[in-house]
């Protein structure tokens, strides 16, 4: 039979154990709740430079109604955006890229000018897991004037930059703390400039944007990271580089250049999820070209050219963004002036069929992007100063306007980060 003191000691130990278990369960429940309730954030890069800071050749840029990088919380059920702050920048952070871990963001500061050659800059930010706010880490030269595109190499150790007004591409090392180091490589595009009228332009088109000099418009690695591809709009060419991921150097591949029809102006591209089909959109020709891609050699072989516009369209149009749905069933193409998103189904062999056009509910759609679930598509209407939200039907590919407009001055790009996924 236990004594009174023994019973008391036993009771206290049991109580302490239960208290510890309760605290542990409470902590686990709180962590789970915090993860579930962590916001989905949207970051919108804008044109935010005063008129006097805009370069003379920037034909499609307004003075800059944006204020830098605009932050929003995303309603996961409706797609609506709620303002959550602004990272004030007067340098037009027109392209953004977020690291795979969600801990850092990088911006191409398109209208920043440094040095005698008006070289642009790129900035690195730490991204807070708590509230999604950004903290500027450092800003470095981009390797050329007017950086318009940034992407992160699959290794996570290099930032790839396309300098539109400098006609160059560069590689910047990403340091262990997320900051950027000086460029490990800069390549200047060279070759014959294409004509001012595109071979495949619609009847009556006067679309002219970049056939005055070299204009590197986009750079991105293939899914393996073995090759890096970039397009030059002025040269009507796609470049394929073999990438040295130890030194951060671009080396000409065996199949180094691919030519598009003169004047058509390749702007952006997107790989199909299978890694074997590559879709390029031409800004002045208003076309999409399907290429077969050989991941072992980097070779591109064209197989289809299709207009981004509805049958019978005439006049001027400037293409912008191209995106393949995550399931690989549909391709979406942006049309500026026609102000639409062309919707295409992807056949078993990768060939495209035009199925619909959706009005963007704004003027001059510069880019668009899906939220992480693929449930909503967000369109940045650059000259309308708004972002329009569409619900995407994954079975048909169709887009339905949700009725949600978000005012943002001269939006250029929108990217997303689920804070529950930040490592």
Three-state SS for 116-141 is CCCEEEEEEEEECCCCCCEEEEEEEE
pLDDT confidence of residue 211 = 93
Q: What is the mean pLDDT of each run of 10 residues along the chain (423 residues)?
A: 47 45 44 63 93 50 84 98 97 98 98 90 98 98 97 98 97 98 98 96 92 97 98 98 98 98 98 98 98 98 98 97 98 98 98 98 98 98 97 98 98 98 94
Distances (CA, A) of 179 to 32, 104, 173, 276: 31, 9, 8, 33
What is the rounded distance in angstroms from the CA atom of residue 408 to the CA atom of residue 423?
A: 29
pTM higher than 0.85:
yes
What is the rounded distance in angstroms from the CA atom of residue 271 to the CA atom of residue 51?
A: 36
| DSSP summary character for residue 296 | T
End-to-end, the C-alpha distance of the chain in Å comes to: 54
What is the rounded distance in angstroms from the CA atom of residue 325 to the CA atom of residue 392?
A: 10
Strand bridging mode 93-98 / 104-114: antiparallel
Per-residue HEC secondary structure of 339-357 comes to CEEEEEEECCCCCEEEEEE
pLDDT confidence of residue 49 = 82
Q: Mapping DSSP to helix (H, G, I), strand (E, B) and coil, where does residue 49 land?
A: coil
Task: For residue 345, give the nearest of 386, 283, 394 by alpha carbon.
Answer: 394
What is the rounded distance in angstroms from the CA atom of residue 307 to the CA atom of residue 342?
A: 9
pLDDT confidence of residue 33 = 36
Buried b (16+ CB within 10 A) or exposed e, 105-141: bbbbbbbbbeeeeebbbbbbbbbeeeebebeebebbb
């Amino acid at each position: 039979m236990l004594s009174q003191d023994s019973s008391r000691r036993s009771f206290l130990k049991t109580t302490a154990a239960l208290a510890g278990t309760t605290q542990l369960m409470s902590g686990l429940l709180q962590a789970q709740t915090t993860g579930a309730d962590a916001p989905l954030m949207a970051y919108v890069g804008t044109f935010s430079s005063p008129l006097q800071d805009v370069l003379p050749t920037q034909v499609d840029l307004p003075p800059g109604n944006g204020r830098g990088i605009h932050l929003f919380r995303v309603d996961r059920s409706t797609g609506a955006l709620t303002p959550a702050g602004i990272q004030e920048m007067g340098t037009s952070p027109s392209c953004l890229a977020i690291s795979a871990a969600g801990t850092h963001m990088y911006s191409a500061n398109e209208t920043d000018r440094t040095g005698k050659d008006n070289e642009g800059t790129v900035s690195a930010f730490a991204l807070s897991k708590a509230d999604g706010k950004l903290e500027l880490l450092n800003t470095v030269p981009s390797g050329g004037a007017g950086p318009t595109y940034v992407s992160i190499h699959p290794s996570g150790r290099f930032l790839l930059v396309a300098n539109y007004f400098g006609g160059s591409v560069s590689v910047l090392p990403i340091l262990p703390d997320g900051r950027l180091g000086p460029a490990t490589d800069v390549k200047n595009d060279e070759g014959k400039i294409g004509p001012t009228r595109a071979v495949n332009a619609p009847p009556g088109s006067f679309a002219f944007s970049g056939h005055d000099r070299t204009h590197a418009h986009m750079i991105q690695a293939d899914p393996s990271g073995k090759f890096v591809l970039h397009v030059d709009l002025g040269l009507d060419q796609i470049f394929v580089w073999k990438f040295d991921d130890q030194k951060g150097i671009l080396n000409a591949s065996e199949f180094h250049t691919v030519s598009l029809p003169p004047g058509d102006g390749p702007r952006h591209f997107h790989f199909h999820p299978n890694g074997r089909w590559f879709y390029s959109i031409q800004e002045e020709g208003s076309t999409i070209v399907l290429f077969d891609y050989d991941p072992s050699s980097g070779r591109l072989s064209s197989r289809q050219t299709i207009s981004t516009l509805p049958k019978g369209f005439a006049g001027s149009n400037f293409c912008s963004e191209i995106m393949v749905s995550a399931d690989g069933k549909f391709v979406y193409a942006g049309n500026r002036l026609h102000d639409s998103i062309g919707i295409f189904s992807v056949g078993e062999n990768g060939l495209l069929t035009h199925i619909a056009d959706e009005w963007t509910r704004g003027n001059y759609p510069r880019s668009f992007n899906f939220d992480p679930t693929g449930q909503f598509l967000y369109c940045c209407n650059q000259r309308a100063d708004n972002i329009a939200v569409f619900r995407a039907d994954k079975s048909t590919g169709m887009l339905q306007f949700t009725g949600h407009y978000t005012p943002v001055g001269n939006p250029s790009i929108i990217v997303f980060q689920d804070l529950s996924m930040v490592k």
